[in-house]
Structure 1
Amino acid sequence: MEETRGIGRYQVQLRWGIKIPLRDGICLNATAYIPRELRDPAPAIFTLTPYIGQTYHDRGMYFAAHGYPFLTVDVRGRGDSGGEFKPNINEAKDGHDVVEWLAQQTYCNGQVAMWGGSYSGYAQWATAKELPPHLSTIVPVASPSMGVDFPFGGNIASPYLMRWLTLVWGRASQDKIFADGVEYWDQRFREWYESGNAFEQLDTFLGNPSDVFQEWLRHPQPDDYWDSYNPTSEQYSRIALPVLSITGIYDGDQPGAISYYRQHLRHSRVARERHYLVIGPWDHAGTRTPRAEFGGLKLGPASVIDLPRLHLQWYAWTMQGGPKPEFLHNKVAYYVIGADRWRYAESLDSITRRVQLLYLHSAGNPTDVFSSGFLQSEPASSAPDQFVYDPRDTRLAQVEASVGSNYLVDQRMIHAAGVSQLIYHSQPFPSEMEVSGFFKLSVWLSIDRPDTDVRATVYLVDALGSAMRLSEDRIRARYRQDLRREVLIGTSEPLRYDFDHFTFVAVKISKGSRLRLVVGSNDSIYTQRNFNGGGVVSKESVKDARPVTVRLFHDGSHKSVLYVPLGDDVSEEPAWARSVVTDRQGQE
């Protein structure tokens, strides 16, 4: 079936119900958007999606109106595609077959590109690792990496998994159910949290028993199972096509996108010249459609760039000999919050010019914002601090479920958490500074249980007391040494915990502002609960719950340190900021 629509330069012809044959006899369903007045075959673009092809109708119209044939392809088992849907597992070979089929169509000149974000960003990397000969470029956006940030991060899962699995349940679209976040999902997650049920019962609790969910829980840490989804070092070394990666400062899949970027540059000799990275001031959805306001933040006009236009320019440059996109002044582009400006660097690591060490210290147990500990430039020796987490206490659930859309600036959880956290503040900044890069935190902790989950969060607090969350990281104690190997804690002596998976941030710090570090339990309605029992976490319930006391040391033998990444344009070096680049091992 065909229909013609007009938009932009080209009339667009739609073709429905296209069947793309795969090597095993299964056919995938596609909708094609063809520039009607296209005189010669052109590079073709496609997206491989579980969200039903019509979701990207506007993108198909846009790219076809600008001269590129564009196909929305339902993944195996979704929409009108044949076969059985198994998340993420078939996209590599199926994507390869779509590329080679598309390259043979009369409207394609043999060059094929991919488009898409989130799952479709993952599908681009999965396809690229199969090295289809006619794949010319990929633009993976907000791409989750299996075993890195999906379906868990730091080996800590989230009930969001069942919200997402419900979205892609069956063949039809479940987008209305998925979108009912505040009224339905937040309340259901609160009910699950308060029930004290084991995490493995979540799918049944939510009314959607899932074999996929149960299979994922059988692999709670990176292993061969998760490795099979992602490119190997050998495959990375052979991915020579140009890549434009896009993610956001508050994109939940930033860790996955950054992991792909780093692995590609590590293993491929040509990647340093052909892989570009854009990190915008966006959340997950904003990596495709930027917004100036989200999470309670209000950003400047430079934050909203024309990403479809950037895609067009990228495709023209890499496949048609057009000029390099004017936005890409260097290999890495990143936005600085508060300055409302984009900066550029040759590499991700070169963004941080120097690192400031701030040592944790306190004059008493700092469990309150108004009687906090200190982040200071010189180490000092004092008695350890401590927080207590009791999984049987569910009082915070009501507060957390009410936070809603202002989650990046709302401080109610900090004020309500009480003895389950420790809080440290820096001195007010006497002049403007730019923090750009990745925070790191090395702290000496002792716990009196075999396992618990600890979260570290960094905030920016302005002179009036308003706070903005910058970045966070979490550690499950049994994976303190190695995410691939669990070792329960068998001592009450202090051990070093390295929080070195904070997300990237770039922000201008105004005069009079301070940094706030919160170290506490990872107790949330939005994450898998650790009942501290030391058993299989997904199987434990409130019956296994044990309170844990976590002590944080900062004495002469145990220097706990926050590493602050400082970027460009520091107008005046504060006297207290003795910035150095150092190996953390040397601070032990």
Structure 2
Amino acid sequence: MAEMQIEFDVPAEMRDGTVLRADVYRPGGTGPWPVLLSRLPYGKQMPMALAILDPLAAARRGFMVVIQDTRGRFASEGQWEPWTYEESDGYDTVRWAAALPGANGSVGMIGASYFGNTQWMAALSKPPELKAIAPMVTWSDPDDGLWTRGGAVELGITAPWTLMMGADALTRRHGTDPAALVGGITGLVRDLDGLAGGGYGELPVGRFPAFARHDLPELGYERSRREPDWARSCRVAGRHDEVDLPTFQVGGWYDIFTQGTLDNFTAMRRAGRPATLIMGPWTHTNQQHVIGDVNFGFAANSAFMGMRGRLHDMQLDWYQRAIGDGEALEPDTGRVLLFVMGVNQWREEREWPLSRAVDTDFHLHADGRLTLEPPSTAEQPEEFTYDPMDPVPTTGGALLLSDEFRAGPLDQTVVEAREDVLVFSTEPLTEDTEVTGRVRAVLFAATDGPSTDWVARLCDVDENGVSRNITDGIVRVRAATPGEAAEHVVDLWSTSIVFRAGHRIRVQITSSNFPRWDRNLNTDEPEQDATTARVARQQVFHDPDRPSRIILPVVPPA
């Protein structure tokens, strides 16, 4: 390690002449070494990047590490456009990194979120030197968690991400005009700080005013609606068969891309590729053991992993076998490591989803009960009023919003006291009940307008009566027939939890979760133009012909 060498801002020329720059960490000695590459837009020396790929630890293990600023960011040249160039730049960068002095010609990639997706895009471009990827907390379909979810706009992440990314864009734009730069950054910070205080509520959502004020490239929702073909620039879904590489995938039950991680894993397994999956109780930015209001035990911490050591070391162990000097990965190599909440234990599996899980219907009833028995007689529908100007506030969940909003499991008392939130609960459970897998709600519901949203949330109510959120989902209904009941399926994504004996299983039904998702204004106008709201009268049915229910994948006791 005393001989380790670091080169800063090493240039790599892309096919169009644009120069991207990377920091290169070489172990002591002469090599040659396999290369671990990370490409990110957040600054290659920022603590988050160095924490996800610890270059000193990797160099100690015999890897050359290359961390690159993506096009148009920080030390790299070019115009900043989220996603547009990541496939072609990924290809060119992998080939360049493989040919660096001291490299042995084999490249693996590692990183999270945006720089999890840069791995997938590079893999889809098929540079011959790329041998394995290790994406963390990243999506599969951008319209299932990145730009939209169930048809609703992912406003919660879109707004702060775009504004935070704007600082470097404004610095480049006004680099020779200090006064303009100060004015631009001041206005940007004002909008960022003001999101929770009203900025999130600006309309129209589909042409968000704050982005226009600063002329910033946004996360991609608006562009993807103008240019549907462009959306392919960061979509992995439907293309997994093109990736003939082993993958090591990491996600969290409270991550904004929980289902994307699982979908990427299952698709790679289905394609016959070696694939490893680790799912912790984590959020997008927190891989420790206290998540939201819950202490899951130190075993949950990514620095411990239930006595398995650091998650980062587990990744390096895997890379030692995939591209290093360890025992090579066999075609069927791969495992699933799940953190089961409730009992707070890691459990090794060989598959996802679990074939032994049984989809089990829990039915909604008019008296607020949630039972295994469907309604046997006619029950009056539940009704509530949904006012887009007084939406249900986001309280915990798989989210990444401005800092005022905490992710993870939080006390739902304030939410459940609202008149526009329906609550259905089981009796206290007589035995532990494990739910591991995909959760769905089937709602027979009506609205008096042409459009609305339906939100379903699964909660765990402890023996003291405290309800905490587990997972949720939304579906946007367009071209509704006013007053007519229709069947709507809400995808709550996936989880793994044991509801302990004495706890209750609870379901919330409502029509908003703001600002995580944009408000449906109940007019059916396109989000690009809608600025006028109307109040909607909502009905949820639960009778023999319209059995609203939540479907839970129940795992039988061993």
Interval containing the TM-score (normalised by the shorter chain): 0.7 to 0.9
Say if 1:323 and 1:417 are closer, same or farther in 2 by CA, change over 3 A: farther
- SS of the residue corresponding to residue 204 of structure 1 reads helix
Say if 1:321 and 1:438 are closer, same or farther in 2 by CA, change over 3 A: same
TM-score by length of 1: 0.82
Matched, 1:242 2:246: yes
Q: Which of residues 373, 376, 386 is equivalent to 1:377?
A: 373
* Residue equivalent to 1:298: 295
Say if 1:395 and 1:349 are closer, same or farther in 2 by CA, change over 3 A: closer
Say if 1:101 and 1:127 are closer, same or farther in 2 by CA, change over 3 A: same
Matched, 1:202 2:197: no
Is residue 45–residue 68 contact of structure 1 (8 Å, CA) maintained in 2? yes
* Residue equivalent to 2:99: 104
* Residue equivalent to 1:509: 499
* Residue equivalent to 1:224: 229
Distance 1:193 1:285 in 2: 21
Q: CA deviation at 1:331?
A: 2.4
Count of residues paired in the alignment = 523
The one-letter code of the counterpart of 1:169 is G
- SS of the residue corresponding to residue 312 of structure 1 reads helix
The one-letter code of the counterpart of 2:124 is K
Is residue 473–residue 503 contact of structure 1 (8 Å, CA) maintained in 2? yes
- SS of the residue corresponding to residue 472 of structure 1 reads strand
* Residue equivalent to 1:546: 534
The one-letter code of the counterpart of 2:521 is F
Q: Which of residues 22, 40, 48 is equivalent to 1:49?
A: 40
Say if 1:131 and 1:513 are closer, same or farther in 2 by CA, change over 3 A: same
* Residue equivalent to 1:555: 543
Percent of pairs identical after alignment?
A: 24
* Residue equivalent to 1:60: 55
- SS of the residue corresponding to residue 190 of structure 1 reads coil
Say if 1:395 and 1:341 are closer, same or farther in 2 by CA, change over 3 A: closer
TM-score by length of 2: 0.86
Range with bigger deviation, 420-429 or 524-533: 524-533
Say if 1:184 and 1:334 are closer, same or farther in 2 by CA, change over 3 A: farther
* Residue equivalent to 1:153: 149
Q: CA deviation at 1:49?
A: 0.4
Distance 2:334 2:223 in 1: 43
Is residue 147–residue 227 contact of structure 1 (8 Å, CA) maintained in 2? no
Question: Within 5 A, what are the aligned runs for 1:197-346?
Answer: 197-200=203-206, 202-204=208-210, 208-212=214-218, 216-217=221-222, 219-220=224-225, 223-231=228-236, 233=238, 235-266=239-270, 268=271, 270-271=272-273, 274-286=274-286, 290-304=287-301, 305=305, 306-320=310-324, 322-323=326-327, 331-346=335-350
The one-letter code of the counterpart of 2:436 is S
- SS of the residue corresponding to residue 267 of structure 2 reads helix
Is residue 448–residue 537 contact of structure 2 (8 Å, CA) maintained in 1? yes
Is residue 6–residue 25 contact of structure 2 (8 Å, CA) maintained in 1? yes
| CA-to-aligned-CA distance 1:147-187 (integer Å, 9 cap, x gap) | 3221222232214312111222254799xx99xxx998575
- SS of the residue corresponding to residue 161 of structure 1 reads helix
* Residue equivalent to 1:14: 6
Is residue 13–residue 33 contact of structure 1 (8 Å, CA) maintained in 2? yes
* Residue equivalent to 1:115: 110
* Residue equivalent to 1:583: none
Q: CA deviation at 1:278?
A: 1.1
Say if 1:220 and 1:172 are closer, same or farther in 2 by CA, change over 3 A: closer
Question: Within 5 A, what are the aligned runs for 1:528-543?
Answer: 528-541=518-531
| CA-to-aligned-CA distance 1:189-219 (integer Å, 9 cap, x gap) | 331356x632245343895333546x73254
| CA-to-aligned-CA distance 1:514-541 (integer Å, 9 cap, x gap) | 1110010114133212110111123212
Where structure 1 has 5 or more consecutive residues not aligned to the other structure, the ranges are 1-5, 364-371, 479-487, 571-588
Distance 1:449 1:144 in 2: 33
Say if 1:401 and 1:83 are closer, same or farther in 2 by CA, change over 3 A: closer
Matched, 1:29 2:24: no
Question: Within 5 A, what are the aligned runs for 1:480-491?
Answer: 488-491=479-482
Is residue 190–residue 398 contact of structure 1 (8 Å, CA) maintained in 2? no
Distance 1:91 1:255 in 2: 22
- SS of the residue corresponding to residue 111 of structure 2 reads coil
- SS of the residue corresponding to residue 338 of structure 2 reads strand
Is residue 20–residue 68 contact of structure 2 (8 Å, CA) maintained in 1? yes
| CA-to-aligned-CA distance 1:531-586 (integer Å, 9 cap, x gap) | 10111123212xx211111211111211112111112536xxxxxxxxxxxxxxxx
- SS of the residue corresponding to residue 99 of structure 2 reads coil
* Residue equivalent to 2:557: 569
* Residue equivalent to 2:179: none
- SS of the residue corresponding to residue 417 of structure 1 reads coil
Say if 1:57 and 1:442 are closer, same or farther in 2 by CA, change over 3 A: closer
The one-letter code of the counterpart of 2:467 is A
Distance 1:251 1:167 in 2: 20
- SS of the residue corresponding to residue 546 of structure 1 reads coil
Distance 1:533 1:223 in 2: 24
Distance 1:152 1:242 in 2: 29
Distance 1:231 1:192 in 2: 32
Is residue 299–residue 340 contact of structure 1 (8 Å, CA) maintained in 2? yes
Is residue 413–residue 466 contact of structure 2 (8 Å, CA) maintained in 1? no
The one-letter code of the counterpart of 2:515 is I
The one-letter code of the counterpart of 2:537 is T
* Residue equivalent to 2:516: 526
Is residue 431–residue 511 contact of structure 1 (8 Å, CA) maintained in 2? yes
Is residue 78–residue 170 contact of structure 1 (8 Å, CA) maintained in 2? no
- SS of the residue corresponding to residue 259 of structure 2 reads helix
* Residue equivalent to 1:390: 387
- SS of the residue corresponding to residue 528 of structure 1 reads coil
Say if 1:405 and 1:96 are closer, same or farther in 2 by CA, change over 3 A: same
Distance 2:413 2:403 in 1: 10
- SS of the residue corresponding to residue 140 of structure 1 reads strand
- SS of the residue corresponding to residue 356 of structure 1 reads strand
Distance 1:297 1:27 in 2: 46
Say if 1:161 and 1:29 are closer, same or farther in 2 by CA, change over 3 A: same
Distance 2:497 2:190 in 1: 33
Distance 1:345 1:80 in 2: 43
Range with bigger deviation, 104-113 or 523-532: 523-532
The one-letter code of the counterpart of 1:62 is A
Say if 1:148 and 1:222 are closer, same or farther in 2 by CA, change over 3 A: farther
* Residue equivalent to 2:178: none
Is residue 237–residue 264 contact of structure 2 (8 Å, CA) maintained in 1? no
Distance 1:209 1:40 in 2: 47
| CA-to-aligned-CA distance 1:381-402 (integer Å, 9 cap, x gap) | 3111112101233696999999
Question: Within 5 A, what are the aligned runs for 1:447-462?
Answer: 447-462=447-462
Is residue 335–residue 350 contact of structure 2 (8 Å, CA) maintained in 1? yes
Matched, 1:472 2:472: yes
Distance 2:211 2:243 in 1: 43
Distance 1:561 1:515 in 2: 13
Say if 1:231 and 1:133 are closer, same or farther in 2 by CA, change over 3 A: same
Is residue 532–residue 545 contact of structure 1 (8 Å, CA) maintained in 2? yes
Q: CA deviation at 1:34?
A: 0.7
